[in-house]
Amino acid sequence: MSNEGKTYEEAKKIAQGKVSFIRHFITYLAVIIVLAVINNVTSRGHQWWLWVAGFWGIGILFNFLSAFVFKGGGLKNLEEEFIKKEMGETEHESDDTGK
C-alpha cells in the first residue's frame, strides 16, 4: 500500500472515530434527558439519573479524548512517535561514531 493509501486509511479511521463520538454524545444527551424527566415526574426526591449521567459521562469523556485528542490512535500513535524518535537518534549516533 502506498503512503497516500495509508494516509487515506488513517484519515478515514480518525473521521470514523469523530463521527462515532458525535453519535454517542447525541445518544447520551437524549437518554439522560429522558431519564431526568422520568425521575422528576415520578419522584422528586433522590436524583438517581445523575449517577447514570456521571458514569456514562466518564465513558463519553474517554471517547472524546480518543476521537479528538489522541486522533483515534491513542497509545499506538504515541508508540510510533517514540519509535521514530529512537530511530532518528540511532541514525545520529551512528553518524557520530563514523566521524
Which residue has cell 517514540? Answer: 82
| Distance, C-alpha 47 to centroid of its chain | 29
* Residue pLDDT, tens place only, 76-99: 667 777 888 888 876 665 555 555
* Residue pLDDT, tens place only, 23-47: 999 999 999 999 999 999 998 789 9
Q: What is the pTM of this model?
A: 0.67
Among the listed residues 54, 15, 10, 13, the one whose alpha carbon sits nearest the alpha carbon of residue 32: 54
Q: Pull the grid cell for residue 63.
A: 471517547
